């Protein structure tokens, strides 16, 4: 039997980050004492002295097929320094724990949810792309696609508080914009309509819910707090506070202003 990884545990009280990171560290300690065979899985969480280290270590472990891959992933991820990135990650964790009844625990999201993990890799890749470090951005994006089955172009602009539920098969194109507090399910495409160049992908405004298998194509706007029904093909602008469904998608309902589909996760269209 392979030896278990040794742990130098950083006390929760010594962590300078937000409460959510301390909560995850405490949870990892409880799990580690109850299930010591999970020491290797919990190592990036329990050894880290900051939330940033915790995030980088966990993502690098998931992206890697070898020790060389892992070292390279750590180097590339650690080269990104942006104070806003960790705040965006915290908002994404809160989105999951408040919207997904199957995942009330942020540590489970950090360690196991590939939609969340793919989104966090994109956050690093986008900053590399923005800073002109194109090859590093492409490598991260390619590894994330291979490992998680989520394909997000490094140039795509994604806000905070986003939930990629399940994550499988999600494709987000180069000039797409996804604003804050959006939820989307598996096999969603934010794509182009052909070989057009320039600004050619959807702009998804805040609070939108995109159902499983929806295809949103072209440089169109999905208005704030709207809902795209599962399996829809959207080729035209969608007004704010509406539900669209069908192939091609048509308006089937207008919402009261207080409804936030991304938060309720109610996918019914009636």
Last residue of a domain, one of 117, 151, 185: 151
The DSSP code sequence of 92-160 is HHHHHHHH-TT---HHHHHHH-HHHHHHHHHHHHHHHHHTT-HHHHHHHHHHHHHHHS-EE-TT-EE-S
Instruction: Based on the fold, state whether residues 125 and 207 are members of the same structural domain.
Output: no
Q: Report whether pLDDT(37) > 70.
A: yes
Last residue of a domain, one of 132, 151, 170: 151
Instruction: Based on the fold, state whether residues 259 and 161 are members of the same structural domain.
Output: yes
pLDDT of residue 10: 42
Mean pLDDT, the chain, integer: 91
Q: What is the DSSP letter of 66?
A: S
Q: Is 88 part of any domain? A: yes
Instruction: Based on the fold, state whether residues 18 and 123 are members of the same structural domain.
Output: yes
Instruction: Based on the fold, state whether residues 131 and 185 are members of the same structural domain.
Output: no
Q: Is 141 part of any domain? A: yes
Residue 184 pairs in a beta bridge with: 164, 210
pLDDT tens-digit series, residues 230-242: 999 999 999 999 9
Instruction: Based on the fold, state whether residues 196 and 111 are members of the same structural domain.
Output: no
What does the block give as tokens for 6? 């040794």
Domain residue limits at 225? 156-270
Distance CA 231, CA 63 (A): 30
Last residue of a domain, one of 151, 167, 184: 151
Instruction: Based on the fold, state whether residues 146 and 165 are members of the same structural domain.
Output: no
pLDDT tens-digit series, residues 71-100: 999 999 999 999 899 999 999 999 999 999
pLDDT tens-digit series, residues 142-161: 999 999 999 999 999 999 99
pLDDT of residue 90: 94
pLDDT of residue 17: 56
User: For the CA atoms of the chain, what is the radius of gyration?
Assistant: 19
Q: Which of 112, 113, 50 is nearest to 83 (CA)?
A: 50
Instruction: Based on the fold, state whether residues 160 and 146 are members of the same structural domain.
Output: no
Distance CA 27, CA 39 (A): 13
Q: Is 50 part of any domain? A: yes
Is pTM beyond 0.85? Reply is yes
């Amino acid at each position: 039997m392979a030896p278990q990884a040794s742990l130098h545990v950083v006390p929760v009280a010594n962590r300078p980050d937000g409460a959510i990171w301390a909560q995850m560290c405490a949870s990892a300690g409880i799990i580690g004492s109850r299930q010591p065979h999970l020491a290797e899985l919990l190592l990036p969480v329990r050894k880290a002295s900051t939330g940033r280290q915790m995030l980088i270590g966990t993502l690098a472990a998931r992206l890697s097929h070898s020790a060389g891959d892992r070292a390279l992933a750590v180097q590339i991820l650690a080269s990104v320094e942006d104070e806003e990135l960790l705040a965006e990650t915290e908002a994404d964790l809160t989105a999951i724990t408040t919207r997904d009844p199957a995942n009330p625990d942020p540590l489970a999201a950090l360690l196991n949810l590939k939609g969340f993990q793919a989104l966090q890799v994109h956050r690093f890749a986008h900053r590399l792309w923005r800073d002109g470090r194109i090859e590093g951005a492409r490598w991260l994006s390619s590894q994330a696609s291979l490992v998680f089955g989520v394909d997000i172009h490094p140039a795509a602009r994604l806000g905070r508080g986003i939930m990629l539920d399940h994550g499988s098969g999600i494709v987000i194109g180069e000039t797409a914009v996804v604003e804050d507090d959006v939820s989307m399910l598996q096999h969603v495409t934010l794509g182009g309509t052909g070989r057009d160049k320039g600004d050619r992908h959807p702009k998804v405004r805040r609070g939108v819910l995109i159902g499983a298998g929806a295809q949103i194509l072209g440089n169109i706007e999905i208005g704030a707090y709207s809902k795209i029904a599962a399996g829809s093909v959207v080729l035209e602008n969608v007004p704010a506070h509406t539900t669209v469904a069908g192939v091609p998608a048509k308006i089937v309902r207008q919402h009261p202003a207080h409804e936030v589909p991304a938060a309720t996760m109610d996918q019914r269209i009636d």
